Structure formats: structure tokens, C-alpha cells
Amino acid sequence: MALLVKSRAPSRSHSLSIFAHSLDRAAVVAYFLGGVVPLTALAHLAYAEMLPEMRDPLARAGLLALLFSLAVLSGGAFLLLRRVTLRTVQQMDADKERLATLLDASEQLAAAMHGTDASSGLAACALRLGGGPAAFFMAGPVPKLEAAAGDRGLHAAIESRLSEIVTQALDEGRAALWNIDPHHGAVLPVEGFGALVVVAPPRGIEAASLRALSTLAAQGSASLRRVQLVQAQRNFFVHVTDILVAALDAHMDLQAGHARRVAQLANRIGRELGLGEAERQRLHFASLLHDVGMLRLDPTQLEDRRIARQHPVLGHRMLAPIQLWADIAPLVLHHHEWFDGSGYPEQLAGDAIPLEARIIALAEAFDSMTSAASYKPAVERDEAVRRITEASGTQFDPNVVRAFLDLARRGDLDLS
């Protein structure tokens, strides 16, 4: 096992910030004004006034030695102070860069929706913090490469011994340095998920960089746990939605499959309108659950139009208290509003109606007209398209109608 137990000497950065250059110039000017000028004046005074009056050679030599010593001490103090100041500023610059990298990593990891996004972000940020040619994220109790940044070929070169090193670091639960000639670096456990492996530059990894990498590993663990939770919630969300849709189909036997067909057409219209991924996801689940309020109604009363019109409000009441469905509850509430304001339940008009609800309204109308389970007999597809076209600007949003007609012209209205 080639684990190292000693840290390498910190490296010096050769690049200076604008602040460092400005500080250096200020120090030179201050030394010139506060040291060189007074010493020059003193030397001039000594040569002009004091030395001519001195007859003792030893006294003259002593005065000259004193002046020389003051010049040397002053210059040495300046050089020492300048060196310390520049090294401090270099360290500040490096710390600032590490902090910026950690902040970037925090944002990237917070936005990660999948484990692969988080592991790729970890490897990329570890590469920046380590300053070497490569960084890897190795997942699982049996280390397996999941993400790499920089020179990916290095992993193959050290893979056989690297797995052993990572396994030991995971078993011990702490960061460690490693050396696999001619490469060296650090391994940092990401609690519960694997480890970050950094290949160091020739000069080694600074202690401050190791601390930053440890912070990054902790961030990675938190991010991967969040992603795990989000995926579990999404899985729950999908399956519970399927259960409700199946229950709705059983409850409204004559309209079995209606919710899924509406979701199909709504998704196509949303894509045609250029909706983003999050909006299309919200549209999809709202389409599936747009009639969920019907579960609160007795099937024998659904023929009563006054009672049936309560289902958007009932569906909203069912979904709004549940955090996972809170953002689709308003779409369920308003999917029977008309573009001209004559719909229900709140008589909203135009852009006051959520766009996704306007899309669901058209998709539901088309499926209701063309489904034999809803209309006896169902109207032909061309007739349904004509009726929707005529209702543009009254019942339906003209922009949504245009997107729907584009689908119709391409023959993309087949629903299953």
C-alpha cells in the first residue's frame, strides 16, 4: 500500500493579482519616501557638515560605518517586509480562488438533478482545487470510476493500485495522500457514496487545497443525498399519480384512458410551444390529474352538469395541501376557464389563465370530442379540428390553437 502520511511543502504561486502589484508599488514608493530620501539627506548632511569637522580618522570611519549600516538595515527590512507582504497576498489570492471554486461547486451541486450530474461536478471542481492533471470520482464500497475530469488516461495507468488505496481510505473514513510512481495525489472519502481522487501537480498539493477538497467532499456527500431523496420523491410521485389515474379510470368507466390521452396531446402542444423541461413536466402531471376531483363525486351524479362543474375546485383542494403537487394544483383548478373569461370556476381570461391550463383545456376538448366514450357517436377528427379552430380566441388561446393546428397538419394527433 502506497499511502503517504506526510504533507508536501506548499507551493508558491507565481501569478499576482492586480491588488498585489498595486501593493508592491505602494511599498516601493513608501520605502523611497520614508527610507531612501531621509538616508540620502542624512548622508549629505554628514558629508557636507560633519565629516569636514572630524579630525579623528576613527570617528570618521565610525560615522561612515553607521550610515552604511543604517542603509543596509533599512534595505533589508524593506526586502523582508516586501517578501512577507507578497507571500501573504499570494496566499490570499489562492484562498480567494479556492473559495470561489467552492461557491461554484455549491451552486452546481445544488442544481444537480441526477447522481451523474453531481459526480461530474465533483470531479470538475476537484480538478480546479487540486491544480493537477486529473481528478476522479469513484463510487461505491467497491470503488468504480463514475466521473473523471482532466486527463482521463491517468486513471487507466494507476487503476490497479488506486482501487486498493481508495478502499483503505473508505475503510478508515479519512483523507489520505498516495504515491504510485510516477504519480501522487490525495483521496478524500465522500461519505456514503465513494471517494474523490486527485492527481497532484509535480510540486504537490497545498495544505489549504486539501482542506478545500475535504470541504468539497462534504458538499458532494450532501448533494448526492439530496439527489437520492429527490429521485425517491419523483419515484413516489410517479407511482402515486399512476394509482390515482387508474382509480379515476375505474371511477369514470366511460372515460377510461382519457387522462393519458390528454397528457399525450398536451405534451406535444407544450413541446411545439417551446416549453422548458420543468414546465413540460408540470404540464404532464397536471394533465394526468386534471379530473382528479371527480373522485370526490358520486358517479351517479356526474350527469348533473352543476355537480360535475365542481370537480376543478375539488381537485385543487385535494392537491394543494400536498407539497409535491402544490405547483400543479392551480392548473387543475383552471383547466375549464375560457380564453374570453366565460369559463369556470373563476372566470379568468387571457394570460391570467396559466398557460399549462390553457393547453390542457384544448387537449381535453379534442379528446372528449373524438372519444367514443365521451360523445355518442364521436365526431370525426377533422370536425373536431374545425370546432377547435372556430373557438380560437373565445374558448381557446389562439397561440395554443396555432400549435395544435401545426400538429394536425403534420398528422401528430394520433393518441393511444
Higher per-residue confidence, 354 vs 42: 354
Task: Say what the pLDDT of residue 363 is.
Answer: 95
Q: Please state, in angstroms and as integers, the Cα–Cα distance from residue 368 to each residue in 180, 213, 255, 377, 383, following that order.
A: 69, 58, 9, 11, 13
Tell me the average pLDDT of the chain: 82
Pair 259, 288 in one domain: yes
User: Is the pLDDT reported for residue 221 higher than 90?
Assistant: no
Pair 368, 341 in one domain: yes
Contact assessment for residue 150 and residue 164, using Cβ atoms and an 8 Å cutoff: no
Q: Which domain holds residue 47?
A: 18-100
Higher per-residue confidence, 408 vs 5: 408
Domain count, the chain: 3
Q: Would residue 5 count as lying in a domain?
A: no
User: Is the pLDDT reported for residue 18 higher than 60?
Assistant: no
Q: Would residue 105 count as lying in a domain?
A: no
User: Is the pLDDT reported for residue 8 higher than 50?
Assistant: no
Could you give the CA distance from residue 69 to residue 79 in angstroms, rounded to a whole number?
Answer: 15
Pair 351, 262 in one domain: yes
List pLDDT tens digits, range 70-80: 777 777 776 77
DSSP string, 321-376: TSGGGTTTHHHHHTTT--TTS--SSS---GGGS-HHHHHHHHHHHHHHHH-TTTSS
First to last CA, the chain: 60
Pair 274, 311 in one domain: yes
| In the block, residue with C-alpha cell 493537477 | 132
List pLDDT tens digits, range 231-287: 887 788 788 888 888 888 777 765 678 889 999 999 999 999 999 988 999 999 999
Q: Is the whole-model pTM more than 0.75?
A: no
Res. 394 pLDDT band, cuts 50 70 90: very high
